[in-house]
A and B are shown apart, each in its own frame.
Chain A
Amino acid sequence: MLDVFAQTGAAGFEQFLLLGLVMGSLYALIALGYTMVYGIIELINFAHGDLFMLGGFLAWQLAWTLGVRTLDASSTGAVVGAVALMLVTAPLACAALNVATDRVIYRPLRSAPKLTVIVSAIGVSFVFMNVGSLWLGTSPVKFPDLVPDANLVTAAGVRFTWKDLMVVGVTVPTMVALTLFVKFTPLGKAMRATAQNPTAAKLMGINVDRVIAVTFAIGGSLAGVAAVVNGLYNKSVHYQMGFQNGLYAFTAAVLGGIGNIPGAVLGGLVIGVVGELSKAYLGTKWSEAVVFTILIVILVFRPSGLLGARTREKV
């Protein structure tokens, strides 16, 4: 028999929807890094997920070195301090690494065909993964459990914990800040200009290389934030986790319309919700197949993604 249909217990639709939205905002955060880089240099950055993984490892290393390993064994001050330190260090390190990678590896290839750059990115992804496996080994490693699991909602049937609050509390302001930055600051405008037409932007006196570096820095730091939030939320890091999360994030970016910032957020949320609902009603083993089937169906009807502009091919 095909045991396609999993049983459902007492937890209901609202609960799965909530979990999906929380997971989705995490995917969205990673997807933003993909989509911004793509928007500017049309590169599918296959190494982005692995950058996220290295960020998670760094955060783990920090907490471990500081000795803040469990909630019960550490004072509240130490926990808040450690989390704050992680939220500063990991994004900075990821941003630096991302910018350095761009400077050394992608920048000399600016005029090269797209495939060349994609293959370089795959190469970078291999290197990062090997670094990860040499760093923390190949088994999953427990990430310090520093945010309580206590339920914050009294309504029956739904659990909304401190952890969920943390994810939402970090991701939503980050995404709002990013949108405002791109919309209203001069640098943001320069980014949009470069994305639209690099040559024209250059002619207008925009330092394109600097804009690209800033884009990689922002994308990297978002991956770093996502890595910390992911570590605290899922409580586990693994050298291959970049692949799975990167895949979902890439999918989210494309689903929303690659290069489109609100699109990436929407795409992330859709994937999170579809993923969790399919786990609940069809069983976890089918979840990924369902996510990608829905993705393909959506793209058949909206070939440029949910929010992607219907651009005509340039002649």
Chain B
Amino acid sequence: MSLLRYWPPVLFAALAAYPFLPVADVIRGQQFTILFVYAILALALNVVLGYTGLLHLGMAAYFGIGAYTVGILSVPFFPFQQSFVVSALAGVLAAAAVGVATTAPVLRLRGDYLALVTLGFGLIVQYLIRNLDPITEGTKGLNPIEPGPVPGFAGTDMSAARLNSDWGTKWYDYPYLYFVALGLLVLTTLFLRNLERSRLGRAWVALREDELAATCMGLNPARLKIAAIAVGAGLAGLAGALYALALHTTGNPSFYDFNLSMIMVCCVILGGLGNRSGVLLGVLLLMGFDRIAVNILDNEIQDALGSSAKEYMKVSAWKLMIFGVVLILMMRFRPEGLLPEARVRRELHDADAKAG
């Protein structure tokens, strides 16, 4: 049990030490930075989906709002040019505000109707990003996003802090951004840990388990759900802000689409709904496979086979299939996820006992 509970701190410590190790690799470091961003996004979804049980299919929209807020406040051709701290904070607030404003009117919808509304909301945001060229630059993306770190400190040069030649020269390069992302991930985890144990966190769980009973005990479901959306959307906005910074661009609007929301739902459920450590593991495995392992395997296959490598021999041609089969098998044989939340595990266990 102790192993189960304490592996995330060990992992975080190892990751923090990684750039100083001799095996450190710039590419992996940069890819890990993006994984941390996804981890924050998945934790954000976990607040909504795991704690309160709202099936939200539009998290990518908040991610996009965070990214585009940072974009608008940083790119040279708009008159704002704020530092990252300011623009990221604005991104968090904007995402949370949009989350509350769009969810409040539809909260009385029941489960699956709400799921569709969130899906639709995600699509609408994506089309707004795509079509409102004067603000978002449409499909061109906002770039370059290279802000200073804090207000009053415009300098981005980090040459003085370099420990070896692999390290970048700007604060938004590897490994500085790696540390920033990791730090924010750790802070998010700690924040959620405390939140879970707070009055609000316990109220959420009560609401998820039995809305009627919770209401009878004097909890206000609407207010609780809005609080969950605000926290989740805000964290997703933070992830988006980091994403835009890491890429130095907001990229293609089609990135912030339903697929991203859906993959995140898969990460959360695969890892263990409601359990922070499980969600982390789910993201590391699924996104790590998608964004890192597939590339490595493909390169190895090509290096091994040379020019005789055929299309269908590559992992990428079968990626969706592998994803699909993994999801199906997991749901069949370990529906509670890799690292389930204690309560969920007990529930499923009871259900098994009853069925048997």
Give chain A's interface residues, CB within 8 Å of chain B: 2, 38, 42, 44, 105, 108-109, 111-120, 122-131, 133-134, 247, 250-251, 254, 258, 285-286, 288-289, 292-293, 295-296, 299-300, 303-305, 313, 315
Contacts and interface: CB of A to CB of B under 8 A. Distances in A.
Main secondary structure, interface of B, reads: helix
Contact of B131 (A111, A129, A285): A285
B209 interface: no
B67 to A, nearest CB: 19
Contact of B269 (A119, A127, A295): A119
Tell me which of B132, B269, B331 has the highest count of chain A C-beta atoms within 10 A of its own C-beta: B331
Interface residues of B, number: 52
Contact of B110 (A113, A117, A285, A304): A304
Contacts of A133: 320
Contact of B55 (A115, A127, A285, A299): A115
Given A115-B55, A117-B331, A286 B321 contact: no
A292 B326 CA distance: 32
B245 interface: no
B320 A130 contact: yes
Nearest to A250: B116
5 closest A-B pairs by CB: A123-B327, A126-B324, A292-B120, A127-B324, A289-B127
Given A108-B332, A258-B112, A315-B212, A130 B120 contact: no
Given A120-B327, A254-B116, A303 B131 contact: no
B161 interface: no
A108 B317 CA distance: 29
A126 B330 CA distance: 14
B121 A127 contact: no
Contacts of B324: 122-128, 130
B281 interface: no
B321 A130 contact: yes
A112 B181 CA distance: 36
A116 B331 contact: yes
Contacts, number: 131
A122 B355 contact: no
A288 B324 CA distance: 27
Given A126-B321, A247-B258, 12 more contacts: A38-B112, A109-B332, A112-B348, A113-B348, A127-B321, A127-B324, A254-B112, A289-B127, A289-B128, A292-B121, A293-B120, A299-B117
A114 B110 CA distance: 14
Contact of B113 (A117, A124, A258, A293): A258
B325 A292 contact: no
Given A303-B108, A313-B212, A251 B120 contact: yes
B325 A127 contact: yes
A119 B333 CA distance: 13
Interface string B56-82: 000000000000000000000000000
Contacts of B269: 115-116, 119
B123 A120 contact: no
21 contacts: A105-B332, A111-B355, A112-B335, A112-B348, A113-B335, A119-B265, A119-B331, A126-B323, A129-B320, A130-B321, A130-B324, A134-B312, A254-B116, A285-B127, A292-B120, A295-B117, A296-B124, A299-B106, A299-B109, A305-B113, A313-B211
A118 B317 CA distance: 24
A260 B13 CA distance: 53
Contacts of A293: 120, 124
B317 A134 contact: yes
A109 to B, nearest CB: 7
Contacts of A111: 351, 355
A244 B249 CA distance: 28
B109 A303 contact: yes
B343 to A, nearest CB: 12
Contacts of B113: 254, 258, 299, 303-305
A131 B288 CA distance: 23
Contact of B328 (A114, A123, A258, A296): A123
A292 B124 contact: yes
A112 B350 CA distance: 12
B273 interface: yes
B306 interface: no
A251 B105 contact: no
A286 B121 CA distance: 14
Interface in B92-145: 105-106, 108-113, 115-117, 119-121, 123-124, 127-128, 130-132, 134
B244 interface: no
A178 B205 CA distance: 42
B262 interface: yes
Nearest to B127: A289
Contacts of B335: 109, 112-113, 116
B123 A292 contact: yes
B266 interface: yes
B264 to A, nearest CB: 11
Interface string B38-65: 0000000000010000010000000000
A51 B146 CA distance: 45
Contacts of A315: 212
B232 to A, nearest CB: 16
A300 B330 CA distance: 36
Contacts of A299: 106, 109, 113, 116-117
